[in-house]
Amino acid sequence: MGNMLSKNPFRILIGLALCLTINTSQAITATLKGSLPSSVGECSGLDFNGNASFWTHNDGFGDNRLYKVGMTGSLQQTITLTGATNFDWEDLTHDVNRDHLFIGDFGNNDCDRTNLRIYKIPYPNSSTTTVTPEIIEFTFSDQTDFPSAWMNFDVEAFLHFNGRLYLFTKADGSAIGYTKMYSLSENAGTKVANLVDSFYTNDRTTAADVSPSGDAMILMSNSHIHIFKNFSGSDFFGGDHTQVNISGGWTQKEAVAFTSDNEIYIADEDNGNGNNVYYLSLSNYIAASTTTAVNEVENSSANVYPNPATEIIHFDLSKQFNSVTVQLYDITGKMVATSSFSKAQEMVMDINKFSPGIYFYKLITDGRLLKTERIVLQ
């Protein structure tokens, strides 16, 4: 294992020491919010859309659909990925402005897959029903044997950070407690996932996410949450680490998403005692930020008119926000305009220069997506 870490050959030994001295008395209670629909019986990923709902998916079964569910698990929307196959979808993540959603088809328990891929789509809006994804095909920089040691190249968690994707293995061959971290390009094409670090988690890593501010990262297993803070760049494991146990009975937890800088939702699979969505506060471990919390977003609304529009679009908010960004996208998903406002509640966007057609707007308030919708320009 030592020669695996070009950046820090001693980190595995340090991680082992940490796991022996960690305070396992720290525990957190997950609050049940609701049940997932029967169509999502094997939930393996969550992505918070910034507007009081999540995108999720099944783990396998050939189901090439994404499902939007509310904060209590109710089904709201279904999207089909045309031309995509669900060999073993394991997680979801989005880029910083929610321009794209990434779906990881990289489950690989036997470490014999040669078709590992990540699907990349424009971030869905309420009108999306089908989408044809771009594809990132990749191999691991350190895999030479097919198959390899069990779970050594089985990825079940990833996140997007600073323009790149970071993948985390469920285990490391016979060393069940380790996760390996790989760095991968966010751009479509044939790529190599480069090994950059490893960490001893004392469990099998099943999900990951980064906070909206980018100041905290979490890895989750069936029983634990690992919180990393005060890291430099993408050196997550070089920052401060806290392990928190999830109290209650064991369930197969494979999905996690930040909804604010210190609040998360998790979901488990239907193994007879799961298929639910839960809320957890991490306020004892991660300080609050000035970012608008999810409950504030839920209680806010926007009136956007006229639709169809000819010269200007009005954006009237139910409350004032410190910062507001309005983004306009054409039918291909290309952003054609963006405007930012400070201490704003009522705004207008001039659309005279745009050709008639179907567009979509994103209304982002204090760093969170408040609303996205289809609009017709005439």
> What residue ranges do the domains of the chain occupy?
2-281, 300-377
Report the pLDDT averaged over residues 348-375: 83
- Architecture of 300-377 per CATH? Sandwich (2.60)
Higher pLDDT, 360 or 137: 137
- The pLDDT score that the predictor gives to residue 1 is 33
Do 131 and 114 touch, CB atoms closer than 8 A?
no
For the chain, report the end-to-end CA distance as a whole number of angstroms.
Answer: 62
Q: What is the DSSP letter of 4?
A: G
Q: Is 37 exposed, middle or buried (0-12, 13-18, 19+ CB in 10 A)?
A: middle
pLDDT tens digits along 144-177: 999 988 778 999 999 999 999 999 999 765 556 7
Site of tokens 């760049």: 233
pLDDT tens digits along 189-244: 999 999 999 998 888 999 999 998 899 999 999 889 999 999 999 999 999 999 99
Q: Which two tokens stand for residue 114?
A: 């040669």
Is the pLDDT at 295 greater than 80? The verdict is no
pTM: 0.74
In the three-class reduction of DSSP (H, G, I as helix; E, B as strand; rest coil), residue 261 is classed as coil
- Architecture of 2-281 per CATH? 6 Propeller (2.120)
Residue 269, beta-bridge partner list: none
Do 39 and 68 touch, CB atoms closer than 8 A?
no
d(C-alpha 292, C-alpha 81), whole Å: 32
